[in-house]
Amino acid sequence: MTDLVTRVAPPRAAALRRAAPALLGYVAVRALGLLVLAVWTAARGKSAYTLLTARWDALWYTRVAELGYGYEVRLPNGDVHSNLAFFPLLPWLERLLHAVAPLSYASAGFCVSLVASLAAAWGIFAVAERVYDRRAGVCAVLLWAALPVGIVQSMAYSESLFTALAAWALYAVLTGRWPAAGALAALAGLTRPVGIAVVAAVWAAGVVSFVHRRSSPDARGARAGGRAPSPLQDARRERVGSPDGAPETPRAPAVAPATPVASVVLGMVLAPLGAAGYVLWVGHRTGKGPLGYLDVQAGWRNGFDGGAAFARFVAGRFQTVPGAFAGAAIITGVALVLWLYAVCVRQRQPLPLLVYAGAVTALALCASSYFGSKPRLLLPAFPLLLPLALALARSRTSRAVLVVAGAAALSAGYGAFWLNGTGPP
């Protein structure tokens, strides 16, 4: 899981050209989703733009952008919903765009999400291409765009911004750009609480880099004056069962540790600054010390209980026949997520991707947050899609097109249905 392959990253212009098919496909899938949403909401006498920019969490973000922190709602049951629960990077960008362009805060949030979703798609392509190949990278982006909850990528929410920062942070780790990885991880930590997953990925890769340096038989030669060869430079790709000439799968691609120790240390130091800084600021603001942010989350009935509340919620679905079908669907979905993660491990994805995807999945499934939002919380866990992307890349082009087209159509329909429901996504 730590044998890795080093490839020189292509120049930015060339990289964009390589990513162009993925980005164009992404735009097409998301445009279909927005078109279906517009038609659906118009038929119901609603505004698709309002659903995307001015409901649920989007309202909380725009209030932070416009009025700052300090707003809260006290519910009849005693719960306190404070806007301190929402991390600041998206509101900061909304405020900045509102200041420089004739846009409302809500419209600014929508624009940020659209641009960030493209950046996320490019980052996912870059990671998947490095781990596998270009075709798998295109398939990974299309699958991410066509997720059932893909409509969230076009909302004034923070998922697209976070996924963009996370994907590029992981790519920076895989290519040995440690200061960039640390800076991007810090920004991800200012975007969502799950930013700690990016921090964990950077730290895990850094620790492995240090361990390898100390245990490498060439380390003594490097300390004596020569430069130890990267453990990635001698790694080679091996075919993982492709008798029909399918694309090769890297035995274990990824991180390029042949960088100065100071660079690795700098990346690891930078990585937690965003999340830690905001959490400590909230603790100071509330007067409750370093754990003050946990109290804010508790006011929203959010917390980490190992999945106990989620399990009780699912069990409660089986009290009625219609609910039993919903409960069975939820269990099937969770089983699919866990199976995909097991496949990622079996295929020996790079350690940073495994740590990141595992942390995002654990935080989504084991938190006592609003249960209807759990599919959305899994949206940034794009490494889970890489096994499916690889399988799709190995299939015939006609079959891959049919699969993506069908998934895009289902995603568009489900997204319109979901946003026109009563509860928040």
Q: What is the reported pLDDT for 249?
A: 47
Model confidence pLDDT, tens digit, residues 17-71: 899 999 999 999 999 999 999 999 999 999 999 999 998 899 999 999 999 999 9
Closest to 155 measured CA to CA, from 190, 89, 107, 104: 107
Contact 209, 352 (CB under 8 A): no
Question: Is residue 167 over pLDDT 80?
Answer: yes
Question: Is residue 194 over pLDDT 50?
Answer: yes
Question: Is residue 140 over pLDDT 50?
Answer: yes
Question: Is residue 261 over pLDDT 60?
Answer: yes
Q: What is the reported pLDDT for 256?
A: 55
Contact 106, 156 (CB under 8 A): yes
pLDDT bucket at 9, cuts 50 / 70 / 90? low
More confident: 153 or 14: 153
Which residue type is seen at 378? L
- Separation between Cα atoms, residue 196 and residue 95, nearest integer Å: 25
Instruction: Work out the number of other CB atoms within 10 angstroms of the CB of residue 74.
Output: 11
Question: Is residue 205 over pLDDT 90?
Answer: yes
Model confidence pLDDT, tens digit, residues 269-316: 999 999 999 999 999 999 998 889 999 998 888 888 888 888 888 888
Q: What is the reported pLDDT for 4?
A: 44
| Structure tokens belonging to residue 335 | 């089983």
Q: What is the reported pLDDT for 234?
A: 36
Mean of pLDDT values over 148-159: 95
β-partners of residue 74 are: 80
pLDDT bucket at 199, cuts 50 / 70 / 90? very high
- Separation between Cα atoms, residue 34 and residue 360, nearest integer Å: 27
Mean residue pLDDT across the chain: 87
Question: For the chain, how many residues are written?
Answer: 425
Q: For 390-411, b where at least 16 C-beta lie within 10 A, e where not — what string?
A: bebbbeeeeebeebbeebbeeb
Mean of pLDDT values over 358-376: 87
Q: What is the reported pLDDT for 149?
A: 94
Q: What is the reported pLDDT for 68?
A: 94
Residues whose CB falls within 8 Å of the CB of residue 218, separated by 6 or more in sequence, listed in order: 228, 229
Closest to 384 measured CA to CA, from 354, 362, 404: 354
Half-sphere exposure of 404 (CA within 13 A, CB side): 27
Closest to 292 measured CA to CA, from 90, 66, 80: 80
Sign of the alpha-carbon dihedral angle for 89, 416, 120, 140: positive
pLDDT bucket at 236, cuts 50 / 70 / 90? very low
Q: Which helix (H) or strand (E) holds 224?
A: none
Q: What is the reported pLDDT for 237?
A: 39
Question: Is residue 176 over pLDDT 80?
Answer: yes
